[in-house]
Structures are given as C-alpha cells and as structure tokens.
Amino acid sequence: MCNGPDCGHTSVANVRKGRNWQGPFRKTPGRLLGMGFIRLYQLTFSSLVGSSCRHMPTCSEYGYEAVGRHGLWQGGWLTLFRVARCGPGGTWGSDPVPHVLDERYPWYVPWRLWRFGRKARD
C-alpha cells in the first residue's frame, strides 16, 4: 500500500486490535482498577452470561470506555445506569459514551447521569 496522506488506505498502526476503547486516558489508579475489573468480567463471566445486550456498544464495552474517559466515580455511575437501562422494558440501539460531561454534571450529584442514553419522547 502507499503511504501518501490522500491514498485512502488505513495504515496498520490505525487498525483497532480489540473491541474495547483504545483512546487516550489518564492512567490513574481508580481508572486502571475499574477498567481491570471490567476486563476481568469480559474474560471470565461474560461468556457465561451470553451476548444478550440490546445496546451497541455492549454494556461491558460501555463501562470500559466510560471509566477510561470519565474516571472510576462518574464512569462507574454511567455504567450502572446503562446496565439498569438494559433490563426488560429498557432502551435499545446505539448508546455511545458521552465524550465530555459539562458543568451540569458535577461529581457530587451522580444521579443526574441517568439522563444519558435515554430516548427522547415524541
């Protein structure tokens, strides 16, 4: 393949090697611990539960990315609310992790994070 900037080919370095989020994040102990627990779940218990998640990305992938982007506290709450939405009568479809949490969602009011991923009513 050519290495020109306008060639349209994807380089080998840019190819994603796994299903989990590969983006940059601060490697704090809380984030590494939370992401480690989620990865442990993915490698052990996830195969026993089955692939029955109604969202894309799956709940464990969502949790991995949420903890990586927003830290253990807010990412953990986002993950908890996502798993709660995944139950019977819950939402379905595409539900990406928010890239940035604005000032309306400070760390001391985690129940406000419930709003993310909810479908708008007509």
Q: In the chain, where are the structural domains located?
A: 52-121
- pLDDT, average across residues 74-87: 88
Please report the sign of the dihedral spanned by the C-alpha atoms of residue 48, residue 49, residue 54, residue 58. negative
Is residue 98's pLDDT more than 60?
yes
Write down the pLDDT at residue 8: 61
DSSP-H helix ranges across the chain: 29-43, 46-49, 59-85
Q: Note the pTM of the prediction, 2 decimals.
A: 0.77
Q: What is the DSSP letter of 14?
A: G
Which amino acid is residue 105, in one-letter code? Y
| List of residues 6+ apart from 109 with CB closer than 8 A | none
Is residue 95's pLDDT more than 80?
yes
Write down the pLDDT at residue 9: 56
- 45-78 per-position pLDDT tens digit: 888 877 677 888 888 899 999 999 999 999 999 9
